[in-house]
Structures are given as C-alpha cells and as structure tokens.
C-alpha cells in the first residue's frame, strides 16, 4: 500500500476544514488543492500540525499536474461544490466536468479510492440545473472509477456552516420569515462531526462501489428547522407562507445579490424532500448512525446570536411538532 496520503479538493469549506483536523490527528498527510493559497491558507493552516498538511495552488486544473500529485497519494476526496452560479462559476463546470476529469485522472494514476461528494434528494429535480449537474457528475464518476464512493448528504450543519448561521443572522434582524411551499419540505440534517466520522470509516474500511446517503436521526420540515433556530436564539418572528408566484418573484430579485439568499434554481430544489430515498444504503445501515438532535446541537453555538449572549435564558415556548 502507498503511504497514508490523501489528496483533498474543496479543503476550505465546512467539511474540508473539519476533515483535515481529524485526519491529521490520526497521522494522515493531507495534500489540499486550492485556487488561491494566500486567501485560503489562513482557513486551513491552523487545522494541522506542521508536516501533516501541504497546500498546492492550482489556478487552472492542469491534468498533468494533478496526475503527478495523485501518483503520490492513496485516496482522493472531492468536496468541491457551489450553491449558485455566477458569471465565472457554473454548475456544469464544478459538478460535472471537474468530477469527470478527476475520476479519470484518479483511475489513470492508480488511486486506491475515490470519494466524491454529491447531494441528497436531487433525483426528481429534473428542472434544477444544480441537481442535473450533480447527477451527471455522479454518473461520470461511476463510469470512470470502479472503486468510487458517492456520498449524498442532507443538510450538513455546525458552527462553521453557511446554513444555520445565516438563518440565525437573518432571524435576528428580520421581523418575519417567508416560508416557501408552506415550509413543508422535509430534511434530515446531519452534524458535520457525523459526516467526518462517516468519511473516516469510508477511508479506513473496504467500502468501494458505494452510493451512500448520509442523514441525521430525525426528519424535520423547513418550518420546524426555522422554529428550532428561533427557539435557540430566543427570538419570536412571524412565519409567513409565501404563494408560489410571490416566491418566484422574490427569488428573481434575491438572486441578483452578490451572495444570493435565494435563487430560482434553489426554489425549484425546495419542491423536493431532502430525505433518504430508500434506493441506496444510508450511514445508519453501515452502523454509522448518530443520535445528535438538531435542536440540541445548534444550542451549543446559537448563543452568539442571543441577546445577552451565552448565559441568557430561553423565553420562547415554540411548539416544533
């Protein structure tokens, strides 16, 4: 076997940073690829002891350079993904073309295991460019690399995320919160620490040729998620079901922002539940389930958004059932 070296794409995100911290503590060496080493370095250099993390800058994904890097590694993990398109960042480029290229190079370079992150609940969202690009990326990876593992998580949350923390900020400032599709879309949120446990197991165990849906222990509607967040930050807000026509208009407006709060494509995705499909194995079937409840975990960091801070007391009595 090759030395325990892992090539990581998408190292600066929530999952990447936590994964680096855990792997390097277990004597893995990480080679993290970034487009801008100066901008990204401060986010991840502190996650590992000297000698266990190497940063490599790739402005353009050069096949030959990537192949030369891969030949010194045992495992390649692709965490790269975007939530919305910009002029220079397109879903097809990052979710289809890049996984296609990486999996082909991994096969050629003799990588032992290729782990690719996709998304849960996208199979029926045929009108969503995000979903289609993700599904096409999965297909390319499975075609190109026979020992590939596709990881399909529901919402991944923690103090490092851009989901719960953004909503905590919004709900701290806004007097009301719109509910799209009456807030009935279902999710199975999973804490980032559980995702890391799953990845560690996938790295260490012989789980190849696998599509794995990664979910938390409970099913929550979007409305229940918002109610739990409100409860955790000690706020009361009006939750307003938004008619589909108004929802589409608001998405058109919000997607103009530099960092859109909502896009038309995301609104399309919200039509479909983000829960286990029954078509693939889940982390629970691999013995990697968790009992971490959403409301309990967000309470550990929501004090940053509470009036009075960490030692304030909850006064809300919101029923989230």
64-90 pLDDT, tens digit per residue, is 999 999 999 999 999 999 999 999 999
For 2-6, 200-204, 290-294, which range has the lowest pLDDT when averaged over its residues?
2-6
For residue 31, what are its two tokens?
Answer: 């080679």
Q: Are both 254 and 141 inside the same structural domain?
A: no
Strands (E), the chain: 5-9, 29-34, 53-57, 75-78, 113-117, 148-153, 156-157, 176-180, 186-187, 190-191, 210-214, 220-221, 238-242, 281-282
Picking from 99, 131, 153, the residue at the C-terminal end of a domain is 153
Domain hosting 266: range is: 158-188+218-275+293-321
With bands split at pLDDT 50, 70 and 90, how would you rate the model's confidence at 317?
very low
Same domain, 228 and 130: no
| One domain, residues 173 and 226 | yes
The predicted pLDDT at position 309 comes to 61
Burial label, 259 (beta-carbon count in 10 A; 0-12, 13-18, 19+): exposed
Residue listed under structure tokens 């099913």: 219
Residue 149 and residue 84 share a domain = yes
Tell me, yes or no, whether 149 and 165 share the same domain: no
- Is 198 among the domain residues? no
- Name the packing angle between helices 63-70 and 98-109 (round to 10°): 50
- The pLDDT value recorded for residue 310 is 62
Asked whether residue 312 is assigned to any structural domain, the reply reads yes
C-beta of residue 54 within 8 angstroms of C-beta of residue 31: yes
Task: Give the end-to-end CA distance of the chain in Å, rounded to a whole number.
Answer: 51
Please check whether residue 209 lies inside any domain of the structure.
no
Its pTM stands at: 0.92
202 occurs within a structural domain: no
pLDDT for 36 equals: 74
* Torsion of the alpha carbons at 262, 263, 265 and 270, rounded to the nearest 10: 20
CATH number at residue 317: 3.90.25
My answer on whether 118 and 225 are in the same domain is: no
Query: What's the total number of domains in the chain?
Result: 2
pLDDT over threshold 70, residue 312: no
| 35/140 same-domain check | yes
Mean pLDDT of 116-135: 97
If asked whether residues 140 and 169 sit together in one domain, one would say no
Q: Which residue has the higher pLDDT, 227 or 309?
A: 227
For residues 135 and 184, membership in a common domain is answered with no
DSSP 3-state of 113 = strand
246-295 pLDDT, tens digit each = 999 999 999 998 889 899 999 999 999 999 999 999 999 999 999 999 99
Across 46-60, 204-218, 292-306, which has the greatest mean pLDDT?
292-306
| Model confidence pLDDT, tens digit, residues 88-125 | 999 999 999 999 999 999 999 999 999 999 999 999 99
What's the CA gap between 314 and 301, in Å, rounded? 14
Tokens of 5: 């070296």
With cut-offs at 50, 70 and 90, classify the pLDDT of residue 61.
Answer: confident
């Amino acid at each position: 076997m090759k030395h325990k070296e892992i090539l990581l794409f998408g190292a600066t995100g929530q999952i990447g940073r936590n994964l680096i911290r855990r792997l390097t503590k277990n004597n893995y060496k990480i080679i993290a690829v970034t487009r801008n080493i100066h901008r990204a370095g401060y986010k991840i250099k502190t996650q590992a002891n000297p000698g266990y993390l190497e940063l490599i800058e790739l402005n353009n994904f050069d096949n030959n350079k990537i192949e030369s890097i891969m030949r010194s590694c045992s495992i390649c993990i692709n965490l790269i993904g975007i939530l919305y398109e910009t002029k220079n960042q397109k879903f097809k480029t990052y979710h289809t073309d890049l996984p296609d290229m990486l999996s082909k190079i991994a096969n050629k370079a003799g990588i032992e295991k290729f782990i690719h992150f996709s998304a849960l609940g996208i199979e029926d969202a045929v009108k969503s460019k995000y979903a289609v690009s993700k599904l096409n990326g999965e297909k390319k990876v499975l075609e190109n690399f026979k020992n590939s593992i596709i990881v399909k998580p529901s919402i991944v949350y923690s103090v490092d995320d851009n989901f719960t923390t953004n909503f905590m900020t919004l709900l701290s400032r806004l007097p009301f919160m719109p509910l799209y599709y009456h807030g009935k879309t279902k999710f199975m949120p999973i804490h980032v620490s559980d995702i890391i446990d799953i990845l560690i197991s996938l790295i260490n165990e012989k789980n190849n040729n696998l599509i794995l849906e990664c979910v938390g222990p409970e099913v929550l509607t979007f409305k229940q998620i918002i109610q739990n967040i409100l409860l955790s930050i000690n706020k009361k807000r009006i939750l307003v079901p938004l008619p589909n026509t108004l929802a589409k208009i608001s998405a058109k407006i919000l997607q103009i922002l530099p960092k859109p709060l909502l896009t038309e494509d995301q609104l399309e995705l919200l039509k479909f539940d983000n829960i286990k499909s029954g078509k693939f194995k889940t982390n629970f079937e691999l013995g990697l389930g968790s009992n971490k409840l959403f409301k309990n975990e967000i309470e550990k960091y929501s004090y940053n958004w509470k009036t009075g801070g960490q030692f304030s007391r909850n006064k809300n009595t919101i029923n989230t059932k």
